[in-house]
C-alpha cells in the first residue's frame, strides 16, 4: 500500500495491454452511493473521446497507468450524473473539516494504492489543505519529478483524514443521488455547527439547513447571529422553515419570525402545527425588548397541592428545553404565581414533601412590560437561573432563562 496524490495522477499517461499510449488521466470518479471510500473509475482522455476505465482492468500505476485491456474495451464516458469527480468536485473546493471544526479549501487529495483481487484499486486517504499540496500543484511539470519529490518531503503535511470530511452539495437532486448527508457534521454541538455554517457561502448554508434533521437545524439556528438566521430562513421553502421553527424554543422562534416580513411570517405560521402557531403568535404580539418578548412559554408549573414526587413525575414527561427545568413553579387554580422551587431542592427532598414547603423566598417575578435592563438587573441581584414573567393579574405567562440574558448582555458588550 503506497500513497499517491490526485495531482500526480491527473494527466498521467495511460497505456493499453500492448504497451501503446492511448491517452491521459482526466478525472477520478467515485460513486458515493455505492462506495464512499474507493475511486470507481478513471476517466481517460483519448483521441476518440473521454473513456471510462474501470479498475478491474488496471495492472499498475507507476509513473504511468498500465492496463490489461484494449482501448475499445473502455466504454465512452456518458454524462457524469451520479458521479463524484475528484478534480471538479473536490479539488480547490471548500469542505468541512469536522475534526478541526472549520471550513477549509482543498489543495490536493491523497490516495492509497491497494492491491487486491488481482487488480489495483485507489482508496481516498485524506485531503491536503496545507502547503505540501499547494507547492506540488504549483511546481508540477516545471521542476523535474525527482527534485520535486525530494522538496515535498521537507514540507510538513496538513492532511485531513477522509473520514473527517463532510461535503456540501447545493443541488438537492445531486445530494440525493450522491448520498451526501452531512452525517458527521450533524453530530457536532449545534454551537460548533453554527460557527462552521457561518463561514460558508449562502447557497451552501441553505443546503446545510435542508440536509440537517429539524431538531439539529433548529438548535443550530438558535446559535446563529440574528442577521444570518434571517437570511437562512428567507432562503428556505416555507414548509421547511416551518419544520425547523417548530423545533426552536418559542422565544427564539418568535424573535426570528419578528424580523421577517409579515407575509413571510404568516406563510411560515400557516405551515406550523396549530399549538405551536398559537404560542408563537402570542409571543409575537409583545414588544421584542420587553420581558414578555424575551420569555419562553414552555415551563413546568404545578398546583399548590402537588408533592415533590408529582413534580418529578411531571418533569419526566416534559418535552420543552432542559434550560427551562432549573426552577419549577407553583400556581393556584387561577394560574396565579404562588411560588418557585429550585430543581436542586426538589431533587434532595423526600418524595412526599409538599412543594409549598420547598419554595424559595422571596418570590421574584417580572411584569410583562419590564425592559431588558430591569430583567438583567433582577438576574444579577438575586443570582437567578430563571425569572418568571407575570401579567397584570399576577398570572404566570412565561419564563426567562439565564442563557437568554447572557446572549442579551453579550450583544451589548
Q: Is 312 in the site for other proteins (CB under 8 A)?
A: no
Q: Is 92 in the site for other proteins (CB under 8 A)?
A: yes
Q: Give the DSSP letter string of 299-337.
A: --EE-TT-BHHHHHHHHHT--S-GGGGSEEEEE-TT-BE
Q: Is 155 in the site for other proteins (CB under 8 A)?
A: no
Q: Which is nearer to other proteins, 235 or 371 (CB)?
A: 235
Q: Is 235 in the site for other proteins (CB under 8 A)?
A: yes
Q: Is 236 in the site for other proteins (CB under 8 A)?
A: no
d(CA 341, CA 356): 8
Backbone φ and ψ for 188, nearest 5 degrees, come out as -75, 170
Q: Which residue has the cell 497507468?
A: 65
Q: Which is nearer to other proteins, 211 or 324 (CB)?
A: 211
**234-236-239 Cα angle (round to 5):** 115
- Helix pair angle (214-222, 250-259), 10° resolution: 70
Which listed residue (22, 51, 132, 137) binds other proteins by CB under 8 A? Answer: 137
Q: Which is nearer to other proteins, 177 or 277 (CB)?
A: 177
Q: Which is nearer to other proteins, 98 or 366 (CB)?
A: 98
Q: How many whole angstroms from its chain centre is CA 337?
A: 39
Q: Which residues pair with 61 in a beta bridge?
A: 65
Q: Strand, coil or helix: what is 289? A: coil
Contact 6, 124 (CB under 8 A): no
Q: Is 268 in the site for other proteins (CB under 8 A)?
A: no
Contact 368, 381 (CB under 8 A): no
Binding-site size, other proteins (CB under 8 A): 21
Q: Which is nearer to other proteins, 107 or 220 (CB)?
A: 107
Window 47-86: contact mask with other proteins (x via CB under 8 A): ----------------------------------------
Which listed residue (134, 151, 312, 364) binds other proteins by CB under 8 A? Answer: 134
Window 194-213: contact mask with other proteins (x via CB under 8 A): -------xxxx---------
Q: Which is nearer to other proteins, 206 or 279 (CB)?
A: 206
| Contacts (CB under 8 A) with other proteins, residues 113-132 | 129
Q: Which is nearer to other proteins, 168 or 311 (CB)?
A: 168
Which listed residue (4, 59, 85, 138) binds other proteins by CB under 8 A? Answer: 138
CA-based nearest residue to 10, from 66, 89, 87: 87
Q: Is 104 in the site for other proteins (CB under 8 A)?
A: yes
DSSP for residue 98: T
Please report, for residues 75, 108, 297, the alpha-carbon distance to residue 83 in angstroms, rounded to integers and kept in the order given: 15, 19, 48
Please report, for residues 219, 250, 270, 324, 387, the alpha-carbon distance to residue 316 in angstroms, rounded to integers and kept in the order given: 21, 20, 31, 13, 22
- Supply the minimum distance, in Å, between the C-beta of residue 105 and other proteins: 4
d(CA 214, CA 30): 29
Q: Is 107 in the site for other proteins (CB under 8 A)?
A: yes
Contact 400, 291 (CB under 8 A): yes
Which listed residue (28, 61, 91, 359) binds other proteins by CB under 8 A? Answer: 91
Total Cβ atoms within 10 A of residue 270: 11
Q: Is 316 in the site for other proteins (CB under 8 A)?
A: no
Contact 186, 193 (CB under 8 A): yes
Q: Which is nearer to other proteins, 165 or 396 (CB)?
A: 165
Window 329-348: contact mask with other proteins (x via CB under 8 A): --------------------
- Which residues in this chain contact other proteins in the complex, by CB under 8 A? 91-93, 102, 104-107, 129, 134, 137-138, 201-204, 227-228, 231, 234-235
Amino acid at each position: 500500500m503506497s500513497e499517491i496524490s490526485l495531482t500526480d495522477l491527473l494527466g498521467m499517461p495511460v497505456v493499453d495491454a500492448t504497451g501503446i499510449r492511448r491517452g491521459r488521466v482526466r478525472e477520478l470518479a467515485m460513486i458515493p452511493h455505492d462506495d464512499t471510500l474507493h475511486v470507481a473509475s478513471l476517466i481517460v482522455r483519448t483521441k476518440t473521446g473521454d473513456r471510462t476505465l474501470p479498475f478491474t482492468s488496471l495492472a499498475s500505476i507507476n509513473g504511468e497507468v498500465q492496463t490489461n485491456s484494449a482501448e475499445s474495451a473502455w466504454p465512452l464516458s456518458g454524462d457524469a450524473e451520479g458521479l463524484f469527480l475528484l478534480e471538479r468536485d473536490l479539488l480547490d473546493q471548500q469542505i468541512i473539516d469536522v475534526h478541526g471544526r472549520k471550513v477549509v479549501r482543498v489543495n490536493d487529495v491523497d490516495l492509497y494504492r491497494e492491491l487486491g483481487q488481482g487488480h489495483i484499486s485507489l482508496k481516498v486517504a485524506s485531503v491536503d489543505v496545507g502547503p505540501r499540496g499547494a507547492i506540488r500543484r504549483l511546481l508540477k511539470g516545471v521542476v523535474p519529478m525527482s527534485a520535486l519529490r525530494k522538496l515535498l518531503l521537507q514540507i510538513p503535511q496538513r492532511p485531513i483524514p477522509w473520514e473527517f470530511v463532510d461535503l456540501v452539495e447545493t443541488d438537492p437532486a445531486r445530494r440525493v443521488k450522491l448520498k451526501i448527508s452531512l452525517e458527521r457534521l450533524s453530530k457536532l454541538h449545534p454551537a460548533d455547527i453554527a460557527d462552521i455554517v457561518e463561514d460558508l457561502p449562502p447557497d451552501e448554508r441553505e443546503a446545510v439547513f435542508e440536509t440537517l434533521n429539524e431538531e439539529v437545524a433548529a438548535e443550530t439556528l438558535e446559535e446563529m447571529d440574528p442577521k444570518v438566521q434571517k437570511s437562512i430562513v428567507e432562503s428556505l421553502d416555507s414548509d421547511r422553515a416551518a419544520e425547523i421553527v417548530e423545533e426552536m424554543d418559542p422565544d427564539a422562534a418568535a424573535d426570528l419570525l419578528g424580523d421577517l416580513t409579515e407575509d413571510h411570517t404568516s406563510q411560515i405560521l400557516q405551515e406550523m402545527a396549530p399549538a405551536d402557531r398559537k404560542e408563537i403568535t402570542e409571543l409575537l404580539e409583545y414588544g421584542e425588548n420587553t420581558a414578555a418578548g424575551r420569555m419562553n412559554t414552555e415551563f413546568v408549573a404545578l398546583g399548590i397541592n402537588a408533592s415533590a414526587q408529582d413534580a418529578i413525575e411531571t418533569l419526566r414527561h416534559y418535552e420543552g428545553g432542559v434550560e427551562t427545568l432549573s426552577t419549577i413553579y407553583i400556581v393556584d387554580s387561577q394560574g396565579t404565581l404562588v411560588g418557585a422551587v429550585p430543581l436542586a431542592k426538589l431533587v434532595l427532598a423526600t418524595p412526599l414533601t409538599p412543594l409549598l414547603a420547598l419554595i424559595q423566598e422571596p418570590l421574584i417575578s417580572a411584569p410583562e412590560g419590564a425592559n431588558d435592563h430591569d430583567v438583567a438587573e433582577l438576574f444579577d441581584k438575586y443570582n437567578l437561573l430563571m425569572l418568571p414573567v407575570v401579567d397584570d393579574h399576577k398570572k404566570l405567562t412565561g419564563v426567562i432563562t439565564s442563557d437568554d440574558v447572557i446572549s442579551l448582555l453579550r450583544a451589548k458588550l
